[in-house]
Structure 1
Amino acid sequence: MLKDKKILVTGGTGQVARPVAEALAEHNEVWCLGRFGTPGVEQELIEKSITTWQWDMEDTSGNALKGVPEDFTHVIHSAVLRGDDGDCNASAEINAVATGRLMTHCRTAESFLYVSTGALYARQTLNHAYTETDPVDAVADWLPAYPVGKLATEGAVRAFARVLGLPTTIARLNIAYGPGGYGGVPMLYFRQMLAGEHIAVPMEGQNWFSPLHTDDLVAQVPRLWEAASDPATLVNWGGDESVGVTDCLRHLSELTGVPAKLVRSPVTRETYRFDPALRRALTGPCAVSWQDGIRSTLQAHFPQHVRQLVNV
């Protein structure tokens, strides 16, 4: 883990960047930029010795970063305008411009890490192991503007890395999960299970993903910074193991006794299986198996349900 560095984190209240910020704050000066809309979250970060700063990606004045120091050694940019309203033009404009301004502001940094998404890849077979060279199309029926904004921002990141000479890594994230935050997508599914809701699965087969536990994610960030280069390094950021979503739902049921009601649908929350070879070469292997990770995450968020099964 890094020591005595000055680190800037965006999206520091989220599932990905918050545990990174909190871990790094033990031995470094860490700043978190964001809107801090959730009551109490900013104070929680401050109590972890993190400096907070109000930053709105949608601020088009050009003054959004005024007053923010420029001497950060490392940056992880995880903040995103998801585009929940479906406006692809706005998603592309806001995310790309805000990121370009951020990179320019932090142009003297040793390393810049941009958190992108595997949802960019052009869909192939459900169990295809995507590599960094696979084609992209930024199509996601479940949230159309999100991958469009990410792909546009990847273009901006590549350009600013070259223009500024800023060593950069673009990490296309798979599904991050763990005890912190809301727990990640597996816990979203479990909440649906508790509510008795139907969960959409493909008409045939199952979606696959490469889950990345928080412990592994935090441990890998310094390695991804080390891998930064000009032109930007591109890497898929997921776990070592591939898991079928339906298999994961059944595992949740086995651990808790809560049934998963599956319904076949042409539209699902699409996920992607990654080939981990390049990431493993950069960061080393993961330490947390997906079964252990799911259990520990359930125990953090829904201990009463896990204990009911374990104590039988």
Structure 2
Amino acid sequence: MLTGEKILITGATGKIAFPIARALAHHNEVWGAARLRDPVGRTRLADAGVIPAALDMSTDDFSSLPDDFTYVFHAAVDDGTGDWTTCLNTNAQQTGNLLYRCRGAKGFVFCSTGSIYAYQGRRPLAESDPPGVPSRSNYSFSKVAAEAVCTWIATQHRIPLTIIRICSTYGPEGGAPADRLEKILAGKPIRLHPDKPNYFNPIYEDDYVEFGVRAMEVADTPPVVVNWAGSETVSAEEYCSYLGALVGTDPIFTYSPDAHTPLWPDVTRMHQILGRTKVAWRDGFRRMVEARHPELALVTEYSGERS
């Protein structure tokens, strides 16, 4: 864990960035940048020992931020549900501007996404695989562009950079498995891709906090590009069945070619660079349910098999 550093975390109220900012604030000066339109977010950051800073990444105004950060974890994002030009500007061009502004940092992490990969069928997705836009095309396309912009700037100005391709995160703050849990509890169908089973490598909060810090530490020139996921592979069918068994409600699955393709990452390079995750998926999923729904009495036994 880093100590005595001045660290910028953008998107700091989000489900990935907030736990990282909170953990780092114990031994560092941490600035948490976000739009902060809701005062609750500002208060939550301050209560965690993080210095709140209002920042709109769709503009090129970084005047609210110092320029002497030693590390940066950039997770702020336009989700691509609006205008595509705004999404591209925010996620690619303004990310490049922020990277250049923080060019004196010892490590800069850019949060990309595993959803940039073109689907490769029944095998894990490696960092060398080509990009595609399996869903949310504005978002995926902007992240491909952002990787190119950041790689060019980091190489030209010798800025240590790590590009993490985030796959499936989960925990008390949320994530795709948490969304599917809510569908199970509500009796709503879970839509999956017909090329089943739908394999993922979900990563629990404790592990992604550790890997987020590690990603800053290993930043280099040329940039380090690495999948960011859990070490264990499990299908969405199996983990939803496990969640259903915990809460006493069977999941309902529907299959559609319009659903996101299975996001099954190759974690070989991740193991070499960041290490192995420690939280077993069943333990993490139980902890997620307990944190998000303490009112539920969870089933203690599960004997399901992999789908």
Structure 1: distance between partners of 2:195 and 2:271: 31
Partner SS for 2:184 = helix
Secondary structure at the aligned position of 2:73 is classed as strand
Shift in Å, 1:204: 4.2
Q: Which amino acid aligns with 1:157?
A: C
String of CA shifts for 1:31-85, please: whole Å, max 9, x gaps.
Answer: 01111234412111112221111110112xx3x1114111100000001001113
1:111 aligns with 2:107: yes
Task: Provide the C-alpha distance between the structure 1 equivalents of 2:239 and 2:300, rounded to a whole number of angstroms.
Answer: 18
Instruction: Please tell me whether the aligned partners of residues 88 and 148 of structure 1 are also in contact (alpha carbons under 8 angstroms).
Output: no
Alignment of 1:202-217 (within 5 A): 202-217=193-208
Q: TM-score, normalised by structure 1?
A: 0.92
Change (3 A) 1:222 1:309: closer
| Matched residue, 2:13 | 13
Between the aligned partners of 1:148 and 1:89, the Cα distance in structure 2 is: 11
2:118–2:134 CA contact under 8 A, matched in 1: no
Give how far 1:222 is off.
Answer: 2.8
Q: 1:271 to 1:287 in 2, by over 3 A?
A: same
Contact 2:200–2:265 under 8 Å retained in 1? yes
Aligned partners of 1:19 and 1:218 also within 8 Å: yes
Report the alpha carbon displacement of residue 148 of structure 1 after superposing the two structures with TM: 0.9
Residue 194 of structure 1: how far off its partner (Å): 1.7
CA distance in 2, matches of 1:33, 1:174: 23
Q: Which moved more, 1:266-275 or 1:188-197?
A: 266-275
1:130 equivalenced with 2:128 (yes/no): no
CA distance change for structure 1 residues 257 and 67 in 2, over 3 Å: closer, same or farther? Answer: closer
Counterpart-to-counterpart distance in 2, 1:208 and 1:26: 36
Structure 1: gaps (5+ residues) = none
2:165 is aligned with 1:172: yes
Match of 2:291 among 297, 300, 305: 300
TM-score, normalized by length of structure 2?
0.94
1:37 matched residue in structure 2: 37
Asked whether the equivalents of residues 176 and 214 of structure 1 are also in contact (C-alpha less than 8 Å), the reply is yes
- State the secondary structure of the residue aligned to 1:217: helix
Answer yes or no: is 1:266 the counterpart of 2:263: no
Contact 1:176 1:212 in 2 (8 A): yes
Q: Which residue of 2 aligns with 1:140?
A: 134
Give 1:246's aligned amino acid.
E
The answer for the alignment partner of 2:62 in structure 1 is 65
Give the alignment of 1:216-231 within 5 angstroms: 216-231=207-222
Match of residue 73 from structure 2: 76
CA displacement 1:237-277 (0-9 Å, x = unmatched): 11101111111111111111112111121211334111111
Aligned amino acid, residue 35 of structure 1? R
Percent identical pairs in the alignment equals: 34
Which amino acid counterpart does residue 109 of structure 1 have in structure 2?
Answer: A
Runs of 4+ in 1 over 4 A off after TM superposition: none
User: Cα offset for 1:119?
Assistant: 0.4
Task: Confirm or deny: 8 A CA contact 1:88 1:144 kept in the other structure.
Answer: no
**68-77 vs 279-288, greater mean Cα deviation:** 279-288
Give the unaligned 5+ runs of structure 2. 302-307
Q: Closer, same or farther in 2 for the Cα pair 1:52/1:271, shift >3 Å?
A: farther
